[in-house]
Structure 1
Amino acid sequence: MLQAMPSSSTHERPSVAYQGSPKEAWAALAPLIAGQPTYRIGRWIGDRFQYPRPQNPPRISVALPERPAAVVVHGVDGSVATVCLDLDTSKAARAVVDQDAVRLGRLLAECGLRWVEDFSPSGGRHLYVPLVERMDGAVVRELVEAMTLLAPSLDPGPHQNVSDGCIRVPGSVHKSGGHQVLLTPLAAAYDVLRRRNPAAAVDRLLTALTPELHRTRELKARNAKMANRAMQMPATASDPLSGSESTLRRVARTGLYDTARYKGPSEARMAVLNHFAACGWTLEQVQRELAGQFPGLAALYGSQARQERLLHREWARACAWIQKPATPQRGAKHAFINNTSLPEPTGGGGISSSKAAVHQLVNDVENVLYAVLDHRLKDRGREGLGLRLLLRAILGYMRTMETDVLDVGCRTLATALGKHHVTIARLLPVLVTASDGILVKVAEGRRRTADVYLVQLPAAYRELARELSWRRGKIHGIRPVFRGLGDPAALVYEAIERGRHAPTGAEIIRSTGLSRSAVETALADMAALDMIARQDRSWRVNPAVGLLDLARRLGVMEEVSAQISRHRRERAAWHAWLDRHLVPDLAEYEVHDVEVDEYWLPPSPDDPGLAHRIWYAA
């Protein structure tokens, strides 16, 4: 009796177990993988190798086709019997393909799924996940597209075309010579395809991919909106960063680079390391992400031994390179050394309170915010929601920077809240009036300096602030993950996280001042992402889920980086305009480098200096 393997190793070679001859693999497995009992013959059409649809497609038999052949993935009704994951070396370097195969295999095994794996002479991998119940083609397409966010080498093409999606199966001839070779032993592969995966295991996979599924839906909705806007206004150019990926990020993720721009992998990886160093990363963070979200950078080293030998040396060179700023003119005020350096304060703040006094002031203003201002501002609708979050962002800035003087521009606060800077410019004067003297404007912004605000505690609120006990935890504006989940979710999460006890749904509605439907929607979305959990009738935060890691899986960190880069370009353009009209020559250290098109936030949530760098980057 055949014993089913719980999972397939991606590192087994044909000599370890009997994988069968190409003819045996084709005869045994092709009918079980195919969505229809037919196959297609491949041929070169121009400069591409394709599998055109024949008028009378040949039926699958025990005879191995002499030419490259691929089976159709979808059935005649568009349903899918086997999910086919195509890891292609045209999408990423071969080392990245191998790592993606391990990563996807680990994910499938954790969800209780079994699969069959093969490899091609070009270095690609195929993973076949058979299903007991056929799935709708649209659902499988969404599932595979979500998995591409975890594996950069995964090509979703076979499941994106219902009529022509096809894939080479084990044993078939490869276009460059050779055959698709099984990694899973033939007997085990046959057993997996005969005793297919139940629907419950597929449901667990969908649950594990909830952040990626949410991200793909958001991207599709955004692209559709931009397409409609482009049709209505064809002459308007869209923002190139709104839906694209920077060149250096793609190199770090896939290991593929432009040979016309970089002579070899050494130059490509030095460009990535220089950018990491300029964005404030540490060597430990880089080493951790080599096996995380940027496996392509590790692939550029070729081998682990080469990486261990060169990484420290090249990182030192990158750090030395970014520490060579142009010498500014003596006595000149400037905001940037280069366009990725930490900005200096724009000025305007005079004498500041002590650090201990600032922390006590923040605690007192928090008490007033929760006891009075929140309930007063909630009646203003959407504007009130923006004002509440803006005041939280200001208090978070005070706590992080240990100052009671707010002398940063609207773009800095816009980055902290995930809003447009025009929205912040509109809300700030309203908040000055609505805060009853807590936020006071003390100086007008001029040229490069921003408006200066002072945060204080009016005498009318001092007794109230002293009587109330301080709340645990830190106050935030909009943490990156809530850019994707929405402002109501940020307030609901804060009510659970900073509550004096685990609140019920009714208590969350009363404390946040949000509608029942908004609170229930936010709770359902966060529970689906495993951010919170319900125990009896109360809600609690799941401490095992890292919000920064979840934000990265949702794709929000790319939006943060794009916003920071856009703000840097806008500031550089404004400074250049000022210099053209006020100063004869533009200083060298203020020239914007068009080669640097993105700012990457350090990934570690445990880094104590991360909050400072986020504010500096903004």
Structure 2
Amino acid sequence: MSFVEDFSPNGGRHLYVPLQDRMDAAEARELVEALALMATSLDPSPHQNITDGCIRVPGSVHKSGGHQTLITPLSQAYGILRRRNPRHAVIELRTALAPELARKRALKAREAKAVATQRTGGLQALSLRIGSEAPLRRAARTGLYDTARYKSPSEARMAVLNHFSACGWSIQDIQNELAGQFPGLAALYGDPERQGRLLPYEWAKAQVFTGSKAPQKPLPRRDREKSALINNTSPPLPTGGAGNRTSAGVHQLVNDLENILYAVLDHRLQTRGREGLSLRLLMRGLLGYMRAKETDILDVGCRTLAASMGKHHVTIARLLPVLVQASDGILTKIADARHKAADVYLIQLPEHYQQLAKELSWRKGKIHAVRPVFRALGDPAALVYEAIERGRHCLTTAAIARTAGISRNASSAALAAMEDLGMIARDGRTWKTTTVNLRTLADRLGVLDDYLEHISRNRHERAVWHAFLDRFLKDRIDETSFFDPEVEEHWIRPDEQMHLWHAA
């Protein structure tokens, strides 16, 4: 898209995008507000109303002295203003800004819901924060930080890097966004030379602090090598009994369970409507945690599962017993929650499914619950994307609806939404995934902020619950309180007393 650029004496810049076709005020405002979400220094106010917001054209006198100066060469600017941008250039711009447009529509829907709730007197029940942004994200975007908490820019940027490391970012992602949506983090370094020297070092420290670096695997023990416990509180080493699964055994079990999930369980849960969608994704989340933890016994709490699925923890607590009954022996609850520990579940392959699991071939790829981007697109879109991503061959729209187990209308709507965002593309009559980064797309949609807020809320609620439990430990009677060391309380049997008397 062609544009003309000028700058003012105070350092501001103007970009002029001439169009061949007229554009109404609502469409112009929508595009400019979407651009403002991507470029935080952009002022959208000149296009947010139809009566005010005029700007100085090149050559105009500036109020602080001097004139607006044209940057684009005069002959080139004349050609751009004479030919102007065609309609397809605007369509390409809207396609590039599809995540920001969707995010802006979601924010406006929130604001409308908040206003409606306030007018109906339900403001106290409203727990949704409008336009929420994590403080560390704000510091990375603007370079402003809480001086009462961080004494220097060094501490502030280390907190920002720790935050990104805990969120699973890489140093390449950080470097790409320093000149994009997080220029404030670059400003905290002062100059590019200092940034290039300190960023790799501080990022390594952040990874160590957050535990993002994969720990070094211990060397295998030699045969007949004995290991002594350091003290009496050290956990005993596993003896290799039948109940201990190896890492490879757990991954093989998950592969078999995935086959049963796709071949049998998904079809049974399709009849449960919207609840069935949540149950299917919950089962995928449990299998994902099973593979990550490399164990068939899970004690993952409802709040952790809720954060990974984008739902409320009360909904997860309601769905888990339903999934136990509907899983046909795959998921079994073996222990109730006690104190700070969550419910314990056993995931196994029932005997009546073992032969079927052997006959089916494994599928490549990871299994996911609900990735952050689908918190904005919905559960049907997650299942449709999974059907395309993990399909053994490219699928048509009808085949995707059958594979995903959702209706044709819901499948078509999900495909259209993901195509607008560039997540998938048509290849003739079939669909295929693109190379778009889902994490970056989720960030552009504003979903990561909601995800981080969900995690922060979970941490606060856990802290409150643990504090409530710990208050009962203050009055706990210690074992030594039952005995008085100055009093002899040993009871001697009568026959021993007679023996002592005779001996005396």
TM-score class normalised by the smaller sequence: 0.7 to 0.9
Measure how far apart 1:383 and its partner are: 0.9
TM-score between both structures, scaled by the size of structure 1? 0.68
Equivalences for residues 125-140 of structure 1 within 5 A? 125-140=13-28
Matched, 1:567 2:463: no
1:538 aligns with 2:430: yes
What is the aligned partner in structure 2 of residue 32 from structure 1?
none
Comparing 161-170 with 484-493, greater Cα deviation is found at 161-170
Identity %: 65
Query: Would you say the 8 A contact 2:145–2:156 is kept in 1?
Result: yes
Q: Which whole-Å CA distance do the structure 2 matches of 1:279 and 1:504 have between them?
A: 35
Cα deviation 1:50-109 (Å, max 9, x = unaligned): xxxxxxxxxxxxxxxxxxxxxxxxxxxxxxxxxxxxxxxxxxxxxxxxxxxxxxxxxxxx
Query: How many angstroms does 1:273 deviate by?
Result: 3.9
Query: Partner residue of 2:337?
Result: 445
Q: Find the residue that maps to 2:471 and give its secondary structure.
A: helix
Asked if 1:392 is matched to 2:284, the reply is yes
CA distance in 1, matches of 2:56, 2:72: 16
Q: 1:229 maps to which residue?
A: 117
The answer on 1:372 being equivalent to 2:264 is yes
Distance 1:225 1:367, change over 3 A: same
Question: 1:569 is aligned with what amino acid?
Answer: H
Return the TM-score normalized by structure 2. 0.82
Q: CA deviation at 1:300?
A: 2.7
SS at match of 2:6: strand
CA drift at 1:372? 1.1
Distance in 1, Cα, partners of 2:210 & 2:280:
39
Q: CA RMSD in A?
A: 2.7
The answer on whether the counterparts of 1:241 and 1:562 sit within 8 Å (CA) in structure 2 is no
Per the alignment, in what secondary structure is the counterpart of residue 34 of structure 2? helix
Residues 484-503 of structure 1: pairs in structure 2 closer than 5 A: 484-503=376-395
Report how far residue 533 of structure 1 moved: 2.0
Deviation at 1:303, TM superposition (A): 2.0
Asked if structure 2 preserves the Cα contact closer than 8 Å seen for 1:153 and 1:254, the reply is no
Aligned match of 1:605: none
Paired residue for 1:481, among 348, 370, 373? 373
Go from structure 1 to structure 2 and tell me whether the alpha carbon gap of 1:493 and 1:272 turns closer, same or farther (over 3 Å shift): closer
Instruction: Give the conservation status (yes or no) of the 8 Å contact 2:39–2:181.
Output: no
Whose helix proportion is higher, 1 or 2? 2
Alignment correspondent of 2:131: 243
Q: CA deviation at 1:570?
A: 0.9
Alignment of 1:200 with 2:88, yes or no, is yes
CA contact (8 A) 1:119 1:181 kept: yes
CA-CA distance at 1:190 after TM superposition: 2.8
> Who is 1:553 aligned against?
444
Separation of aligned partners in 2, 1:127 and 1:372: 57
CA-CA distance at 1:363 after TM superposition? 1.2
Selected match of 2:470 from 579, 589, 592 = 579
1:512 aligns to what? 404
Q: 1:545 to 1:165 in 2, by over 3 A?
A: same
Q: 1:159 to 1:520 in 2, by over 3 A?
A: same
Letter in 1 for 2:139: V
8 A contact 2:134–2:452 mirrored in 1 = no
Instruction: Give the letter aligned to residue 34 of structure 2.
Output: A
With 233-242 and 430-439 compared, the bigger mean Cα shift is at: 233-242
Q: How does 1:581-596 map to 2 (within 5 A)?
A: 581-583=472-474
Q: CA deviation at 1:569?
A: 0.9
Q: Give the Cα–Cα distance (whole angstroms) in 2 for the partners of residues 376 and 553 of structure 1.
A: 36
The aligned residue for residue 302 of structure 1 is 190
Determine the C-alpha separation between the residues in 2 that align with 1:584 and 1:139: 66
Q: Establish whether residue 527 from structure 1 lines up as the match of residue 407 from structure 2.
A: no
Whether the 8 Å contact between 2:2 and 2:17 is mirrored in structure 1 is yes
Instruction: Name whichever of 273-282 and 193-202 sits farther off.
Output: 273-282
CA distances 1:324-376 after superposition (whole Å, capped 9, x unpaired): xxxxxx999xxxxxxxxxxxxxxxxx954211111111111111111111111
Aligned-pair CA distance for 1:579: 1.4
Kindly tell me: are residues 509 and 121 of structure 1, through their superposed partners in 2, closer, same or farther at Cα, counting changes over 3 Å? same
Confirm whether residue 141 of structure 1 aligns to residue 29 of structure 2: yes
> Which position in structure 2 is the counterpart of 1:293?
181
8 Å CA contact retained: 1:120, 1:179 = yes
Distance of aligned partners of 1:261 and 1:160 in 2 relative to their CA distance in 1, 3 Å threshold? farther
SS at match of 2:18: strand
Does 2:313 correspond to 1:421? yes
Following TM superposition, by how much is the alpha carbon of 1:191 offset from its aligned partner in structure 2, in angstroms? 2.7
CA spacing shift, 1:374–1:310, aligned 2, 3 Å: closer
In 2 relative to 1, CA 196–561 (structure 1 residues): closer, same or farther, beyond 3 Å?
same
The amino acid across from 1:381 in the alignment is: G
> Measured at CA, do residues 155 and 263 of structure 1 come closer, stay the same or move farther in structure 2, by a change above 3 Å?
farther
Alignment correspondent of 1:35: none
Higher relative contact order (CA 8 A, sep 6+): 1
1:113-141 CA-partner distances (Å, limit 9, x unpaired): 11111122222221111111120110111
Determine the structure 2 residue equivalent to 1:153: 41
Conserved in 1, the CA contact under 8 Å of 2:323 and 2:331?
A: yes
Residue 132 of structure 1 contacts residue 196 of structure 1 at CA under 8 Å; is this kept in 2? Answer: yes
Distance 2:463 2:29 in 1: 42
How do 1:32-431 residues align onto structure 2 when only pairs under 5 Å count? 113-233=1-121, 235-236=123-124, 238-239=126-127, 241=129, 243-257=131-145, 265-266=153-154, 268-273=156-161, 275-276=163-164, 285-311=173-199, 352-431=244-323
Shift of residue 278, structure 1, vs aligned partner: 6.2
CA gap of 1:469–1:215, structure 2 versus 1, over 3 A, is: same
SS of 1:581's equivalent in the other structure is coil
Shift of 1:264: 6.3
Residues 237-263 of structure 1: CA deviation (Å, up to 9, x unaligned): 644755311232112112345678767
Query: Bigger shift: 239-248 or 513-522?
Result: 239-248
Determine which of 444, 460, 463 is the counterpart of 2:355. Answer: 463
Contact 1:252–1:295 under 8 Å retained in 2:
yes
State whether residues 162 and 207 of structure 2, in contact with CA within 8 Å, keep that contact through their aligned partners in structure 1: yes
Residues paired across the two proteins, number: 449
Bigger mean CA deviation after superposition, 155-164 or 251-260: 251-260
- Out of 189-198 and 426-435, give the one that drifted further: 189-198
Q: C-alpha separation between the residues in 1 aligned to 2:437 and 2:172?
A: 18
Partner of 1:37: none
Q: Deviations over 1:209-258 (max 9, x none)?
A: 11111111111112211221222235516447553112321121123456
Provide the rounded CA distance (Å) in 2 between the counterparts of 1:386 and 1:235.
Answer: 29
> Structure 1's 128 and 261: CA in aligned 2 closer, same or farther, altered over 3 A?
farther
Q: Note if contact 2:141-2:183 (Cα within 8 Å) is conserved in structure 1.
A: yes
Name the SS for the 2:19 alignment partner.
strand
* Structure 1 spans left out of the alignment, 5+ residues: 1-112, 324-329, 333-349, 586-618
Q: CA deviation at 1:287?
A: 3.6
Give 5+ residue unaligned stretches, structure 2: 212-230, 234-241, 477-504
Distance across 2 between alignment mates of 1:311 and 1:497: 35
2:326 corresponds, among 420, 434, 441, to 434
Residue in structure 2 matched with residue 598 of structure 1 by the alignment: none
- The amino acid of 1:182's aligned partner reads L
* Alpha-carbon distance, 1:276 to partner: 4.3
Matched position secondary structure for 1:130: coil
Residues 235 and 521 of structure 1: CA distance in aligned 2, closer, same or farther (over 3 Å) = closer
Q: CA deviation at 1:171?
A: 2.2
Tell me how far apart the structure 2 counterparts of residues 557 and 151 of structure 1 sit (CA, whole Å). Answer: 18
